[in-house]
Amino acid sequence: MSVFYVLLAFVYVCRGQSDTVPCPKVLAINITGGTTDRNNSITKDGIVFEKNNYFVSNKTTFGCVCNIMPCIRKCCRAEQKMVNRRCGPRNNASMSFLIYDGIVATNITPYYEHFHLVYSKKCKRTKALINPYKDLRDTFYVQANGTLFLPHFTRKLRRPEEYCIEVFDVAGYEMKDVLSVILCLSDADLVTPPVHRLICTGRFYDV
């Protein structure tokens, strides 16, 4: 009986994934208008997207750039930063950070030449802002492959679709033009430390 339900759950999960696109939609960039080659690959801005690295949705062609090169998400557009709960003008706030191997800084620099930046802060579910300047448990390290390493979290590695990095100007959290990340939270996160701490302190973004 219970085995039956486990099997049913399996079928459900697998079917849910079978007709998905070659990458999370939040990591796909608009490559509409790119050049299609004879072998059906599309070249856009010097990046070649083979057939298995793009998909068409709603008349727009989306390229899975993160399948091709290391990428990270920047929460807001290039000329913007987070101002409280929204993206706003960056003014003169500069954005820079080191790339780590574990917790050891590498000499890979600058980040914007190493990573392709995807501008998006979309999460499937809840999101939370962490603040390493206020709580050392929020310390994070961006890895060369675009993974975020959170040594003090239960789930220590986050894929590019699970977080975005940005300059934050958030009065309520005493963040003035500092670099931090918004985490996309999973069900597991919500019940494991230190994420429940984020909830207790109300550090949530609702957009």
Ligand X SMILES: *[C@@H]1O[C@H](CO)[C@@H](O)[C@H](O)[C@H]1NC(C)=O
Q: Which residues make up the interface to ligand X (CB under 6 A)?
A: 30, 32-33, 37, 39, 41, 48, 50, 58, 60, 91-92, 101, 143, 145, 147, 157
Do the Cβ atoms of 102 and 141 come closer than 8 Å?
yes
Amino acid at 37: D
Is residue 85 left, alpha or beta, with left meaning phi > 0 and alpha meaning psi from -120 to 50? alpha
Least Å distance, CB 56 to ligand X, is 11
Q: How many Cα atoms sit within 13 Å of 104 on the Cβ side?
A: 2
Rounded least distance, CB 89 to ligand X, Å: 8
Instruction: Name the residue nearer to ligand X (CB basis): 28 or 164.
Output: 28
Rounded distance, CA 199 to CA 32, Å? 40
Q: Which residue, 37 or 174, has its beta carbon nearer to ligand X?
A: 37
C-alpha 195/C-alpha 14 separation (Å) is 29
- Please report how close the Cβ of residue 102 comes to ligand X at its closest, in angstroms: 6
CB of 9 to ligand X, least distance (A): 26
| Nearer Cβ to ligand X (31/123) | 31
